[in-house]
Structure 1
């Protein structure tokens, strides 16, 4: 059921429903923990689709989550961009291109209008412009665009998980090397200091291995 519900969501990953992504919201609905009217990007049509699938009554959008509106596009004022990369980190679908201390730009075709880049910008150089005229909700979005956005979000998460795994592995290797390089107890080395260092490094290694096991589990 969660997969069927997820397939009816627009996959903008905007978090306006109160969940970190569309999949989490779908799981909450499937588990009976959440209402079906918390997705402004899906609009009234989205609520109707979810109602038909779940058997729940059609209801107005929850005003606490925002209002239905036209599709938005993020636009960066390149003259003010300082290249901080915070918007790149905030974008759930990797539609912002740029590097550290270099001008950033939005790949228009991939932008979902999630709005998450706006508060992330420290110099307020990102604005959102409507690009669908009077069309709102699913009238301004398509199943194909939702599928593309979902794939981009999945790829982004997989890449970040891989980078984190590689980073943790490097740190673990450095800690193991330091542990192996600790001098043996001699008359010129304080055994208390050595034992303390060994305990700290071994604890760090244990935490790293536990995180890796949790990620793989």
Structure 2
């Protein structure tokens, strides 16, 4: 009888602990839902111009109050207005410390000059560049977000940014 009572007490204690933990984590679930809504508004360039390593970390920072809504140059004024509407905040101009709004661009590799070093492939956050080591590389324009992260690591400077195809705009 003592063993049954002990098991019952232990089970009750575990149940209470689980209930308390579930209640404590509920705000995180609400926070994650907000992060998802914010992330859907962001342009998904994964460029890091906002000061965060991608759109999801920036969304998390906005939701937690760590970052302001005006740090995304690719999203521009439209993105800032959409974030302001979503979060019931006042829209503000793009923070110039993060860059300027530009028309959509895509990377273009001048293939004749490419040495196949793969540094651009490693830098691309959306896997829009294909190629093999010591072979020519090319950009899949439909996947390229124009983040510019492939340009600095290119040792032969064979990557240009051009206006995005009209179909994407």
Q: Same fold (TM over 0.5)?
A: yes
Tell me the C-alpha RMSD between the 2 structures: 1.3
Q: Which residue of 2 aligns with 1:86?
A: 119
Question: Which of 38, 47, 60 pairs up with 1:14?
Answer: 47
Question: Which of 88, 111, 125 pairs up with 2:158?
Answer: 125
Q: What displacement does 1:131 show?
A: 2.7
Task: Report how many residues are paired.
Answer: 135
Q: What displacement does 1:79 show?
A: 1.3
Q: Which residue of 2 aligns with 1:48?
A: 81
Q: Which residue of 2 aligns with 1:116?
A: 149
Q: Which residue of 2 aligns with 1:25?
A: 58
Q: What displacement does 1:132 show?
A: 6.0
Secondary structure of the residue that 1:7 maps to in structure 2?
A: helix
Secondary structure of the residue that 1:67 maps to in structure 2?
A: coil
Residue 60 of structure 1 pairs with residue 93 of structure 2: yes
Secondary structure of the residue that 2:107 maps to in structure 1?
A: strand
Structure 1 gap segments, 5+ residues each:
134-139, 142-217
**CA separation in 1, counterparts of 2:59 and 2:151?**
25
**CA separation in 2, counterparts of 1:57 and 1:42?**
16
TM-score scaled to structure 2, two decimals?
A: 0.77
TM-score scaled to structure 1, two decimals?
A: 0.60
1:70–1:132 CA contact under 8 A, matched in 2: no
Secondary structure of the residue that 1:33 maps to in structure 2?
A: coil
Q: Which residue of 2 aligns with 1:107?
A: 140
Secondary structure of the residue that 1:11 maps to in structure 2?
A: coil
Q: Deviations over 1:133-160 (max 9, x none)?
A: 7xxxxxx75xxxxxxxxxxxxxxxxxxx
Structure 2 gap segments, 5+ residues each:
1-33
Secondary structure of the residue that 1:117 maps to in structure 2?
A: coil
Q: Which residue of 2 aligns with 1:187?
A: none
**CA separation in 2, counterparts of 1:132 and 1:68?**
18
**CA separation in 1, counterparts of 2:121 and 2:140?**
11
Moved over 3 A (4+): none
